[in-house]
Chain A
Amino acid sequence: MNKRKKAAEKEISYAKWGYIFIAPFFIAFLVFQLIPLVQTVYYSFFEYYRSGLTVIGPNPVGFDNYKALFESDFLKYTGNTIILWIAGFIPQIIISLLLAAWFTDVRLRIKGKQFFKVVIYMPNLIMASAFAMLFFALFSDNGPVNAALISAGILKTPFRFLSSVSGTRGLVALMNFLMWFGNTTILLMAAVMGINPALFEAAELDGCSPRQTFFRITLPMIRPILVYVLITSMIGGLQMFDVPQILTNGKGSPDRTATTLIMFLNNHLYSKNYGMAGAISVILFIICAILCLLVYFNLNPTESDRKTGKKGRAARKEAVNG
């Protein structure tokens, strides 16, 4: 008790260091990002685009851009984006948790663990555009995937992946999964490695099964990182662009079902339509912010939780030492 009070007094005197440490971040942010961002919001209230080489505007139009936005198929693109994200994210998080648990489990002896760990991230090293070129060739109507499926007797005629809604969405999800599951696994592994090994040793001594260890120790301990993965993946998902853009050649076809919100935004940048593009950005920003705050405050330990967490940690430490 006494100690904590002392620490609190000290923290006050250390406050200036907090400001010093966060200063570079905020300075860089102000210079390179804030002004463009403010401009984005500002222009969302203007008619401002180019017709050929003629600049139209900026003329103030109030909320007209927002009105036009909600009269468009905005909700459809929101739906597309969420479907594409979830279809890739669910397998991604399951596989990543599984792999992170396996890779960090000392009891599970896998030969070449090191090799597997290195390999799973490698698809992320290929540029999205190059990756899409390869996917395109693989899944084309007369490509090797169709040939294999036909010779295996599964299909009679080629399945035209990129001409069917589920085919296109499936490929986008598969590409996103392949590109990002290694990334997530590494994040989760790093989180698990941050856990005090003594905890796992204690669990083993107590006769916990791998499943119990995973659900009772690993998962709760890496909760902050899990929330991080969920939030960043959600943001990445809502801002999904390059994979569907390149795979569908910028078309978002068939029937605009692979058109994501940022592809919608990108269409408006063709005519430098900063008014509409700004409005989409602002709405997207609000959606993202609401979803992230919901996730953050529902799943992350609150202040009081953190204190009990600390207590728990101390208690566990005692148990280990004892």
Chain B
Amino acid sequence: MNKKFKAFLSIVLAGVMIFGVTACGGGNGGGEEATTEEGKVLNIWCWNDEFQTRFNDYYPEVAEAAEDGSTTTLKDGTVVNWVIEPNENNNYQNKLDEALLNQENAEADSKIDMFLVEADYARKYTNSDATMKVADLNGVLDATADQYDYTKEVVSDADGNVKGVSWQACPGLIAYRRSIAKAVLGSDDPETVQAALADWDKFAETAQKMSDAGYKMLSGYDDTFRPFYNNDAAPFVEDGKTLNIDKNIMDWVAMTKDYTDKGFNNKTSLWQPDWAADQGKDAKVFCIPACTWEIDFTLTGNADPDGTKDPEKSAWGDYAVCVGPVSWCWGGTWITAATGTDNAALISDIMIKMTTDADILNKIATEKGDFVNSKSVIADLAANYEGNDFLGGQNHYALLSDSAAGLSLKIASAYDQGVIEKMQNSMKDYFDGNVDLEGAKANFETAIKEIYPEIETVNWPE
């Protein structure tokens, strides 16, 4: 069917070309004009309205946003058309892929102009020709000098060309319970706690102390995955057919197995109800490695389910954050320009305003709670922010502004989403005692080869 369709297409294309040649022969140079003229429709693809609300609220050229959220009209009359596809069942990427593969054949006004990606699969798109180099977008590259380096590394292609921008940075931290710290470590001061968690050996010592005092160090298996993975030496896949598992990952496996056998954790998995409950007032779990966005997204709600903001009735104010054994980051949303767009100038302007304009970023930080992607705005907040009530008055920007600057995510690869997911799943069976380590590794390899047929070998560290 496809072949027939291709044949049909090639005939049509041939026809168009012949027609085009004769038309040009007539001396009508209309073709050049079309390439420089901006389209009147901007199609933006995303999986939720996170960027849309920020765009509608803060992009200065917005004239009117349709009430049903389907479009936004700009002051010059350009219509921004939002294509929001839910993430469930990989639906967003499935549809995006189909549309990108058909991009060449689509009419100018229905081509994708911009689309959003997440860190774990950003490289899938930035390594392909579907995304434009930021350098080709007028002025964007220069404007992003103040952004954190890692946010550029994630969306770079194999040759180091940056292909997307983000308005947020997501440094990791360790959030801990002040009351438990006081009871076991004698102080809830972030510096004291940081000293007790300064490296993985000290982390284990503290875990033992927690266990002796009747507490759990961590809630679940996956909590410590990102800090380890983030410090891998090399990307999972470099040549397109070999998957190299870093020693860091195996350290995570060994540590988590050890903790599980010693009863240092509650055997939960990310996002599960039990995991969420472990962040509440009555939970006996000391700490959770988390990200800046998790403070607002999950931690606040889980610690204070009824929204009381009352330290008596909830864990409100009983949390504080410190950097922990290593620095790391997790997540974030990037904006990319799709190859074939007819709105390059508008996209440049949106990228510059939404991800580099200090005023706008300041508003996004203070009104939406994002850890914005600007060293100077964060430095300003580090100096002037009055402190977060939930964290007992701590100014977490001050704590994280340094570690965020040192973050790196050069090891991002197009395979991260699948590899991380399958690794966590397969190793859970090992932690649970359902299979031995060899069995878990074998299951991991099976799962990887199912979703990535091009991977021929999986190398485990010695």
Residues of chain A having any CB pair with chain B under 8 Å: 35, 39, 49-56, 58, 72-73, 136-137, 140-143, 160, 163-165, 251, 253-256, 264, 267-268, 270-273, 276
List 20 interface pairs A-B (beta carbons < 8 Å), by A numbering: A49-B453, A51-B454, A52-B125, A53-B101, A53-B130, A56-B454, A140-B272, A140-B274, A141-B268, A142-B274, A160-B432, A165-B434, A251-B425, A254-B429, A255-B434, A255-B443, A256-B446, A268-B453, A270-B450, A271-B452
- Contact yes or no, B443 A273, CB < 8 A: no
- Contact yes or no, A273 B273, CB < 8 A: no
- Contact yes or no, A255 B125, CB < 8 A: no
- Contact yes or no, A51 B240, CB < 8 A: yes
* Distance between B161 CB and nearest chain A CB, rounded to angstroms: 16
B266 (CB) vs chain A CBs: closest residue: A141
- Contact yes or no, B267 A141, CB < 8 A: yes
Q: Does B195 contact A (CB under 8 A)?
A: no
Partner of A53, one of B100, B266, B273: B100
* Chain A hits for B272, CB < 8 A: 136, 140
**Docked complex Cα distance between A39 and B5 (Å):** 13
Instruction: Decide yes or no: A53 and B274 within 8 Å by CB, A72-B446, A160-B432, A271-B452 being known contacts.
Output: no
- Contact yes or no, A140 B273, CB < 8 A: yes
- Contact yes or no, B443 A256, CB < 8 A: yes
Partner of B125, one of A51, A53, A160, A270: A53
* Chain B hits for A165, CB < 8 A: 434
- Contact yes or no, A163 B450, CB < 8 A: no
- Contact yes or no, A53 B450, CB < 8 A: no
User: On chain B, which size bracket covers the interface?
Assistant: 35 or more
Among A50, A55, A254, the most chain B Cβ lie within 10 Å of the Cβ of A254
* Chain A hits for B418, CB < 8 A: 270
- Contact yes or no, B97 A267, CB < 8 A: no
**Docked complex Cα distance between A72 and B100 (Å):** 33
Q: A141-B266, A267-B447, A270-B451 are in contact. List 12 more A-B contacts (CB 8 A).
A: A35-B1, A51-B240, A52-B127, A140-B274, A141-B267, A143-B274, A163-B267, A254-B429, A255-B434, A255-B443, A264-B450, A268-B450
- Contact yes or no, B453 A271, CB < 8 A: yes
Which residues of chain B (412-462) have a CB below 8 Å from chain A? 414, 418, 425, 428-429, 432, 434-435, 439, 443, 446-447, 450-454
* Chain A hits for B428, CB < 8 A: 163, 253-254
Q: Does B192 contact A (CB under 8 A)?
A: no
Q: Does B247 contact A (CB under 8 A)?
A: no
Instruction: Decide yes or no: A53 and B443 within 8 Å by CB, A141-B274, A160-B267, A268-B450 being known contacts.
Output: no
Q: Does B124 contact A (CB under 8 A)?
A: yes
Instruction: Decide yes or no: A53 and B267 within 8 Å by CB, A251-B425, A255-B435 being known contacts.
Output: no
B127 (CB) vs chain A CBs: closest residue: A52
**Docked complex Cα distance between A270 and B130 (Å):** 19
**Docked complex Cα distance between A49 and B452 (Å):** 9
* Chain B hits for A55, CB < 8 A: 101
* Chain B hits for A276, CB < 8 A: 453
* Distance between A36 CB and nearest chain B CB, rounded to angstroms: 9
**Docked complex Cα distance between A58 and B63 (Å):** 48
* Chain B hits for A52, CB < 8 A: 124-125, 127-128, 414
**Docked complex Cα distance between A164 and B1 (Å):** 46
* Chain A hits for B454, CB < 8 A: 49, 51, 56
